[in-house]
Structure 1
Amino acid sequence: MTSWRDRLSTLAHERLPAEVAAKWTALFRPSIRLVSAGAGPRVGWIGGAPVMPAEAEWPEWPGRGPLDFVAAVECAALPREFSPLPEAGTLLFFSFDGHRRGADEDPRLEDIEGSRVLFVPAGVPVAERAAPEGVVPYPARDLFGEVVATAPEREHVLLDQTRISSGESLAEAAEDDPSGTDVFGELIEEARGPGPEHQVGGFALPVQGAVENEIAAEVLGSYQDPRLAEEAARWVLLAQIDSDDKAGMTWGDAGMLYWMIRTDDLEAGRFDRARCTMQCG
């Protein structure tokens, strides 16, 4: 059976110096890429309507209105050996789509109330919930899962912390590569092929710099805070949803939504503490 890491590992050893390739591939993490066609059971859906308990309120941003339902992930359908999520239950992802609502600017990054994650435990009676007035659902599409390799790139703290025998960090070694400073990102893009890049777990695929640094700076209030690297290391990707023409989703300038969560909150199932941010070109 082909390993989830084979494609990216092969490219790394073909294109990078042997020691750099070995150090980088040792950092790989599996993730579950969410695709619109694939083998196996449906693992969730994008757009359409959420399924919610009757007593659950539709998430709302006080002063702005109800959030848009973005996607759902059915935890029991995910490959267990690669999933960081509970064995059962459904995760529902909501975000305020300022562009779709006709707002002058997208305020999501300015307020934690602009997004929400709801976890519905297995066995709880649910029903499909119609969107509130003023919210037009995105076109619905089923999602299937495939396990792929992810790796740190674009300013991730692990590239600074991982060193080769010369004393250089992986980030410094990448700067010396003739193909450019984003050699790791280029390899990941080639290994994965065309998007959209919907994903659960693993390393985030940044459009700009490391998403972990961005979240840490939001929490601490500044990129200059000396605790930034320590805080960034506490956050991992819960899910990312890419701009998707078929689903009618465009985040900023064809960007990406990232729901990040601290590792201790993930282990404890405190999904309400996840934070969402957006990056775009």
Structure 2
Amino acid sequence: MVRDPWRVVSGPGFLPAAHVIGKGSALAATRPRAHHSSRPAVGTGSSVVSGLRKDDGMSPTKKFREHARRHGVSDDAVTRILWSVQPSVKMDVKRPGNVRPEDRVVGYVGGLPDMPVHSTWKPGDHFVACLDLAAIPKQPLDDLIPRQGRLLLFAGPDYRDAFPDNGHAPVIFVPPGTETLVPSAPVDFSYYTMREESQELLERRVLTLLEPAAWDILGWPESDPLLEAAIEEYGSLVPDAPVVNREAGSSLDLRGAQLNHHDWLAIYEEEFQEKREQAVAVVRDAPEEFDELYARALREAAEASEENTEPYVCFAEVAEANVFGSGDGEVSWMIPHDDLLAQRFDRLEHSYFC
């Protein structure tokens, strides 16, 4: 029997092969504009373990389409979902005493990071999270993020600003075997106390894989009848992964897939949505054209914007209240599309969605 590559399964027989975990492993250490949104999600009912193979000549989006077709979902519905979906691996934060034996630990948030010896922690930046990449499973739509070493996520002091003075969002990739140390928190002058103080640290907690996993849908589908109908059609016909779950939530999402554009494209850029409907018409007869149509629309939207001349996609995102302890927004790290392909992590920028 041929296993359905989109069926998500549990159990040690289907877990990804272990990678080498670098020193200081998390396992060892056991917007441009602000908006208000309520996102539905495309989710699974089990572990996010992909049966896809990169060398079979079929793109992940085409596999997703064929999986949906087998269950009777129309091409139009699949195209509209793919145009707005945000594939991700979702994680939650727990205090160490609340971690259960069956939880899959994938990193930690807060506290002091274990950093490469020659790296720097800029005063004012918040250390947010350390992700143990070898412990995080791949998702069916490949996120193009390495599965060795660790990622350290930092947030700038003005991450909430619509147009921050420095939009740079520091991310440090730590390859396996890198020499590391745990630094002291940087000291900076505080205009609140008028004296130098150490950087305030976020509470140290454990990151665990969140199940069932979920894929968000950008924008407000309830104000987009065609997209809302597509989600309902898919959810009513597809009994297995990925299924529709409008109430999914998490503390940290590792996105990085090429189908992760800015929130504002889904809400305010009418031309981008018009191109979605143009793609719907083309893909009915030529489904293989979807990837190029989507990539072209992203490039054209980026070139037409005032902020960027190249398309950015969402690399990672945290729920502000769950990680920072206050606020109701979502803090994102956006990466240039070509940098993601090259696995280059030195030009990420913040985006804030509220």
User: Structures share a fold, TM > 0.5?
Assistant: yes
Give 1:271 deviation, angstroms: 0.4
Q: Partner amino acid for 2:264?
A: G
Q: Which whole-Å CA distance do the structure 1 matches of 2:175 and 2:186 have between them?
A: 23
Q: Match for 2:153 among 84, 88, 93?
A: 93
Alpha carbons of 1:274 and 1:213: their partners in 2 closer, same or farther (altered >3 Å)?
Answer: farther
Aligned partner of residue 80 in structure 1, secondary structure: coil
Give 1:149 deviation, angstroms: 4.0
Q: Deviations over 1:150-183 (max 9, x none)?
A: 2542289xxxxxxxxxxxxx95624899x9xxxx
Per the alignment, residue 173 of structure 1 pairs with: 226
Q: Match for 2:348 among 270, 274, 280?
A: 274
Aligned partner of residue 261 in structure 1, secondary structure: strand
Q: Partner amino acid for 2:79?
A: K
Q: Match for 1:56 among 105, 119, 138?
A: 119
For these two proteins, the number of residue pairs brought into alignment is 228
Is the 8 Å Cα contact of residues 45 and 142 (structure 1) preserved in structure 2? yes
Give 1:113 deviation, angstroms: 5.1
Alpha carbons of 1:256 and 1:225: their partners in 2 closer, same or farther (altered >3 Å)?
Answer: closer
Per the alignment, residue 201 of structure 2 pairs with: 137
Give 1:195 deviation, angstroms: 3.4
Alignment TM-score, normalising by the size of structure 1 = 0.63
Q: Match for 1:68 among 104, 126, 145?
A: 126
Per the alignment, residue 311 of structure 2 pairs with: 234
Is the 8 Å Cα contact of residues 212 and 235 (structure 1) preserved in structure 2? no
Aligned partner of residue 23 in structure 1, secondary structure: helix
Alpha carbons of 1:154 and 1:211: their partners in 2 closer, same or farther (altered >3 Å)?
Answer: closer
Q: Which whole-Å CA distance do the structure 1 matches of 2:111 and 2:351 have between them?
A: 22
Is the 8 Å Cα contact of residues 302 and 310 (structure 2) preserved in structure 1? no
Give 1:261 deviation, angstroms: 0.8
Q: Which whole-Å CA distance do the structure 1 matches of 2:175 and 2:267 have between them?
A: 28
Give 1:232 deviation, angstroms: 8.8
Q: Deviations over 1:231-277 (max 9, x none)?
A: 798322110011134x4433xx4111110112220121210111111
Give 1:55 deviation, angstroms: 2.1
Q: Deviations over 1:30-61 (max 9, x none)?
A: 31001136745421111111111222211x2x
Per the alignment, residue 262 of structure 1 pairs with: 336
Give 1:23 deviation, angstroms: 3.3
Alpha carbons of 1:121 and 1:212: their partners in 2 closer, same or farther (altered >3 Å)?
Answer: farther
Is the 8 Å Cα contact of residues 204 and 240 (structure 1) preserved in structure 2? no
Aligned partner of residue 66 in structure 1, secondary structure: coil
Calculate the aligned-residue CA RMSD, in Å: 4.4
Per the alignment, residue 90 of structure 2 pairs with: 33
**Any unmatched runs of 5+ in structure 1?**
100-105, 157-169, 180-187, 215-223
Q: Share of identical aligned residues, percent? A: 23
**Who wins on radius of gyration, i.e. which is larger?**
2
Per the alignment, residue 46 of structure 1 pairs with: 109
Q: Which whole-Å CA distance do the structure 2 matches of 1:228 and 1:235 have between them?
A: 11
Q: Deviations over 1:168-203 (max 9, x none)?
A: xx95624899x9xxxxxxxx9x81636344200156
Q: Map 1:81-230; keep pairs closer than 5 Å.
A: 82-98=142-158, 107=161, 109-112=163-166, 115-133=169-187, 134-146=198-210, 148-154=213-219, 173-174=226-227, 191=245, 193=247, 195-201=249-255, 202=257, 209-210=264-265, 227-228=304-305
Alignment TM-score, normalising by the size of structure 2 = 0.51
Single out whichever of 27-36 and 266-275 deviates more from structure 2: 27-36
Give 1:122 deviation, angstroms: 1.3
Alpha carbons of 1:80 and 1:153: their partners in 2 closer, same or farther (altered >3 Å)?
Answer: closer
Alpha carbons of 1:49 and 1:259: their partners in 2 closer, same or farther (altered >3 Å)?
Answer: same
Give 1:132 deviation, angstroms: 1.5
Q: Which runs of 4+ in 1 moved over 6 A?
A: 211-214
Where relative contact order (Cα < 8 A, 6+ residues apart) is larger, the structure is 2
Q: Deviations over 1:63-101 (max 9, x none)?
A: xx43111111121111135542112121111113359xx
Per the alignment, residue 185 of structure 1 pairs with: none
Alpha carbons of 1:227 and 1:210: their partners in 2 closer, same or farther (altered >3 Å)?
Answer: closer
Q: Partner amino acid for 1:77?
A: A
Is the 8 Å Cα contact of residues 30 and 149 (structure 1) preserved in structure 2? yes
Aligned partner of residue 258 in structure 1, secondary structure: strand
Alpha carbons of 1:71 and 1:234: their partners in 2 closer, same or farther (altered >3 Å)?
Answer: same
**Any unmatched runs of 5+ in structure 2?**
10-41, 46-63, 94-98, 188-197, 233-241, 270-300
Aligned partner of residue 137 in structure 1, secondary structure: coil
